[in-house]
Chains A and B, each alone.
Chain A
Amino acid sequence: EDQVTQSPEALRLQEGESSSLNCSYTVSGLRGLFWYRQDPGKGPEFLFTLYSAGEEKEKERLKATLTKKESFLHITAPKPEDSATYLCAVQARQGAQKLVFGQGTRLTINP
């Protein structure tokens, strides 16, 4: 069964304090790994797609990386507006549309 585990469950940082969120996965043939951001009371918002080990994507203060077993979301010099829940998801098997999500990491950036 495809599984995604994210750690830590919650993380509090001071503004400007860089850190990383982890996403470990087991999947039968990875088709893609995705990062989403979710604000309270809202639907998830797409951030990145990673397809193969070694791939990296960047957007503003966020950088996502991928290995064969896990992905990291690095946050550099975060600001309070980066506070949100960050979700990782995998898509398995060619032709399947289902995304399997982790439980998310709730990130709080204190000013």
Chain B
Amino acid sequence: DTGVSQDPRHKITKRGQNVTFRCDPISEHNRLYWYRQTLGQGPEFLTYFQNEAQLEKSRLLSDRFSAERPKGSFSTLEIQRTEQGDSAMYLCASSSFLRGTGELFFGEGSRLTVL
């Protein structure tokens, strides 16, 4: 069990640029989640995959955000035309269908700073 891996850990970009984050879940986990967390707040749900299918998507996720999980393994989260309000920690989590659905294993996150 190597844990959930996220890359990059830190990203600084200028407003208007596109950024992409990668998440490698725990290998046997078929469920994958993206959350966003700002300073002093709890994580906020963005989207959920079961295998390669994106089954839930937050209304907060604007058209500038897109997530994929090709082949049901790693996932990417892309933010197009970044805005300063996108600055946050982007957390990926995975879970197994064998455990309770709220027992998530989180990665250490990708911190985005938009200048």
Contact = CB atoms under 8 A, between A and B. Distances in A.
Interface of A: 4, 31-32, 34, 41-46, 49, 87, 89, 91, 96-104
Interface size class of B (residues with CB under 8 A): 20 to 34
Contacts, number: 61
Contact of A45 (B55, B102, B106): B106
B5 to A, nearest CB: 11
B42 A103 contact: yes
A43 B107 contact: yes
Contact of B45 (A34, A43, A99, A102): A99
Nearest to B42: A101
Is chain A's interface secondary structure helix, strand, loop, or mixed overall? strand
Contact of A34 (B103, B106, B109): B103
B108 interface: yes
